[in-house]
């Protein structure tokens, strides 16, 4: 008899241990997919490269307030400095490498994943948490451009967005959770500027629909507003002291005024972008599985007449607002950038956890729900295996960046003027202006001074200098240079000359 009691008592402990093991293995798998070969891929022009250059020049200039590009104040990349700071810190920690450029993006996604899973486990139990983690971790969209394996502001922004939403979903239990939401809004704004407006939009709708004003006193209201605005005001005041309204005017013109003008001038077809944004989410297989599972759980609850708790209903409402509000907001602007609604990548796993919890709420007649959940878990595991295989087989392909990686040395080339001349032409003339990805590669590998002007400027430079030139469309220049200057590298279609 005592042995039977002992066995019954050990079962919950064994189940908890297995649950923790499963969660740990899934997080490790996600971490592997995020970090495996993280620094192998070429540096992508524009957003990734510009962020990397801005952070690099912050260190070079010892100025962490005004970011620059080729020594000039950057009014093209109009983001507050938090993402630049994270990349600069990563450079300091891991060296000047593409891995360091992307490290905090991968880490941000892993932290967001862990926090959402912890929220689901504490609120709803292990099965909802496991399903949320699988939907989150095995979503292919996380591993492409503008996200976890990409060195720009998006992954860090989505971390703060996710934390803000989780705090909002906790506010039904205690209104003071909105302090966390407000602080995360401030951090999101300091990462990606006006995009963070989606956070107060969602929170206001959630606050009103759940009639939470009855729980809010004026002290908390003031405190929440201060948490949201003080960090932003401190940065804005410091930046204003440096260059007045120049940066803010450019930021508002690009991110707000230009978007409104685009929307106003767009045709009816162009403005109908709601489906474009929604398809960005549902076209990802893991998210499609999560949405289908959520819908099936909702049908199951309706058929079985499962009475959902008030807390579960509020959580479902919050997740739906989290998913659809950004789609509506950006659809109104008429713009088409898929990464604008990547917040939905986190909303779907949260919604999946809530609906699975609802379907499993009653202790009886759960076999059908468990069977559907099991099938979805198997499908997600297959998707996850493919993602891990993709990470393992990541390759590097870029002629110019490969030449830079192999031939520049920071100890020997630091401070040297370097020029580039591509095989391509622009407006009928040789392309002799550094492309951002190649420029960042040259900075990371050699700490050179990237100069525009190509072979002609290289020849006119009176100092020791380097020239990287594509051979195919520059045969005459290459033949002439080979007779006049030393050839550091002669590899196929790209030559590196020094003088």
Q: Above 60 in pLDDT, residue 160?
A: yes
Query: How much of the chain exceeds pLDDT 90, in percent?
Result: 75
pLDDT for position 264: 54
pLDDT for position 255: 76
pLDDT for position 4: 38
Q: Above 50 in pLDDT, residue 131?
A: yes
Across the range 370-385, mean pLDDT stands at: 92
Confidence label for 370 from pLDDT (cuts 50, 70 and 90): confident
Per-residue pLDDT of 313-323, as tens digits, reads 999 999 999 99
Q: Above 80 in pLDDT, residue 491?
A: no
Q: Is 356 within 8 Å of 128 (Cβ atoms)?
A: yes
pLDDT for position 388: 92
Q: Above 60 in pLDDT, residue 6?
A: no
pTM above 0.85, yes or no: yes
Alpha-carbon distances, residue 465 vs 23, 317, 399 (angstroms): 54, 61, 21
Of 25 and 259, more confident: 25
pLDDT for position 259: 67
Per-residue pLDDT of 225-251, as tens digits, reads 999 999 999 999 999 999 999 999 999
Per-residue pLDDT of 271-328, as tens digits, reads 578 888 999 999 999 999 999 999 999 998 888 888 888 999 999 999 999 999 999 9
Across the range 39-52, mean pLDDT stands at: 94
Q: Above 90 in pLDDT, residue 87?
A: yes
Helices 98-124 and 82-94 meet at what angle, rounded to 10? 110
pLDDT for position 266: 53
Q: Above 70 in pLDDT, residue 125?
A: yes
Q: Is 55 exposed, middle or buried (0-12, 13-18, 19+ CB in 10 A)?
A: buried
Q: Which residues does 153 contact at the CB level (< 8 Å), separation at least 6? A: 51, 79, 82, 83, 191, 192
Across the range 345-356, mean pLDDT stands at: 96
CA nearest 350: which of 129, 31, 175?
Answer: 129
Per-residue pLDDT of 416-447, as tens digits, reads 999 999 998 887 789 999 999 999 999 999 99
pLDDT for position 153: 96
Q: Which residues does 317 contact at the CB level (< 8 Å), separation at least 6? A: 206, 209, 210
Q: What is the 3-state secondary structure of the chain?
A: CHHHHHHHHHHHHHHHHHHHHHHHHHHHHHHHHHHCCCCCCCCCCCHHHHHHHHHHHHHHHCCCCCCEECCEECCCCCCCCHHHHHHHHHHHHHCCCHHHHHHHHHHHHHHHHHHHHHHHHHHHCHHHHHHHHHHHHCCHHHHCCCCCCCCCCHHHHHHHHHHHHHHHHHCCCCCCHHHHHHHHHHHHHHHHHHHHHHHHHHHHHHHHHCCHHHCCCHHHHHHHHHHHHHHHHHHHHHHHHHHCCHHHHHHHHHHHHHHHHHHHHCCHHHHCCHHHHHHHHHCCHHHHHHHHHHHHHHHHHHHHCCCCCHHHHHHHHHHHHHHHHHHHHHHHHCCCCHHHHCCHHHHHHHHHHHHHHHHCCCCCCCHHHHHHHHHHHHHHHHHHHHHHHHHHCCCCCCHHHHHHHHHCCHHHHCCCEEEEECCCEECCEECCCCCHHHHHHHHHHHCCEECCCHHHHHHHCCCCEEEEEECCCCHHHHHHHHCCCEEEEEECCEEEEEC
Query: How much of the chain exceeds pLDDT 70, in percent?
Result: 94
pLDDT for position 3: 44
Confidence label for 20 from pLDDT (cuts 50, 70 and 90): confident
Phi, psi dihedrals of residue 151, rounded to the nearest 5°: -90, 65
| 267 φ/ψ sector (left φ>0, alpha ψ -120 to 50, else beta) | beta
Q: Which residues does 100 contact at the CB level (< 8 Å), separation at least 6? A: 39, 87, 90, 91, 93, 94
CA atoms of 381 and 387, how far apart (whole Å) = 10
Query: Residue 466 pairs with which residues in a beta bridge?
Result: 418, 498
Q: Is 81 within 8 Å of 67 (Cβ atoms)?
A: yes
Q: Above 70 in pLDDT, residue 365?
A: no
Q: Which residues does 114 contact at the CB level (< 8 Å), separation at least 6? A: 27
pLDDT for position 362: 60
Q: Is 455 within 8 Å of 469 (Cβ atoms)?
A: yes
Q: Radius of gyration over alpha carbons of the chain, in Å?
A: 26
pLDDT for position 1: 43
CA atoms of 443 and 249, how far apart (whole Å) = 30
| 60-64, 143-147, 221-225, 443-447: the lowest-pLDDT one | 143-147
CA nearest 361: which of 311, 399, 429?
Answer: 311
Across the range 102-129, mean pLDDT stands at: 96
Report the Cα 40 to chain-centroid distance in Å: 18
């Amino acid at each position: 008899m005592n042995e039977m009691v002992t066995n019954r008592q050990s079962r919950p402990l064994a189940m908890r241990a297995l649950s923790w093991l499963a969660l740990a293995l899934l997080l490790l798998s996600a971490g592997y997919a995020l970090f495996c070969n993280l620094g192998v891929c070429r540096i992508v022009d524009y957003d990734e490269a510009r962020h990397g250059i801005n952070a690099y020049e912050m260190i070079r200039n010892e100025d962490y307030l005004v970011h620059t590009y080729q020594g000039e104040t950057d009014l093209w990349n109009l983001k507050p400095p938090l993402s630049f700071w994270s990349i600069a810190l990563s450079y300091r920690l891991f060296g000047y490498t593409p891995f360091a450029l992307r490290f905090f993006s991968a880490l941000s996604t892993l932290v967001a994943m862990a926090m959402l899973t912890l929220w689901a486990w504490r609120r709803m139990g292990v099965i909802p948490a496991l399903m949320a983690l699988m939907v989150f971790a095995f979503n292919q969209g996380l591993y492409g451009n503008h996200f976890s394996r990409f060195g720009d502001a998006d992954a860090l922004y989505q971390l703060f967005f996710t934390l803000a939403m989780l705090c909002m979903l906790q506010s039904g239990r205690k209104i003071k959770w909105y302090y966390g939401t407000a602080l995360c809004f401030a951090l999101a704004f300091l990462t990606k500027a006006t995009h963070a407006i989606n956070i107060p939009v969602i929170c206001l709708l959630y606050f009103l629909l759940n009639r939470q004003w009855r729980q809010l006193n004026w002290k908390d209201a003031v405190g929440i507003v201060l948490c949201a605005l003080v960090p932003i005001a401190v940065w804005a005041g410091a930046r204003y002291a440096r260059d007045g309204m120049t940066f803010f005017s450019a930021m508002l013109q690009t991110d707000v005024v230009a978007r409104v003008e685009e929307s106003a001038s767009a045709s009816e077809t162009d403005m109908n972008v709601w489906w474009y944004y929604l398809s960005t989410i549902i076209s990802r297989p893991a998210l499609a599985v999560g949405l289908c599972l959520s819908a099936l759980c909702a049908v199951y609850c309706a058929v079985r007449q499962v009475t959902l708790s008030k807390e579960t209903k509020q959580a479902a409402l919050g997740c739906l607002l989290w998913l659809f509000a950004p789609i509506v907001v950006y659809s109104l602007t008429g713009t088409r950038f898929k990464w604008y609604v990547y917040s939905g990548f986190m909303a779907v796993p949260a919604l999946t956890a809530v609906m699975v919890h609802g379907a499993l709420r009653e202790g009886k007649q759960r076999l059908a729900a468990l069977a559907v959940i099991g099938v979805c878990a198997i499908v997600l595991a297959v998707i996850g295996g493919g993602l891990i295989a993709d990470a393992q087989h990541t390759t590097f392909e870029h002629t110019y960046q490969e030449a830079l990686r192999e031939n520049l040395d920071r100890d020997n080339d630091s401070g040297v003027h370097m020029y580039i001349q591509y095989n391509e032409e622009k407006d009928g003339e040789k392309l002799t202006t550094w492309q951002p990805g190649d420029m960042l590669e040259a900075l990371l590998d050699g700490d050179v001074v990237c100069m525009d002007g190509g072979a002609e400027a290289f020849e006119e430079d009176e100092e020791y200098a380097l020239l990287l030139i594509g051979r195919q469309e520059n045969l005459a220049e290459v033949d002439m240079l080979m007779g006049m200057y030393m050839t550091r590298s002669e590899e196929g279609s790209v030559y590196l000359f020094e003088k």
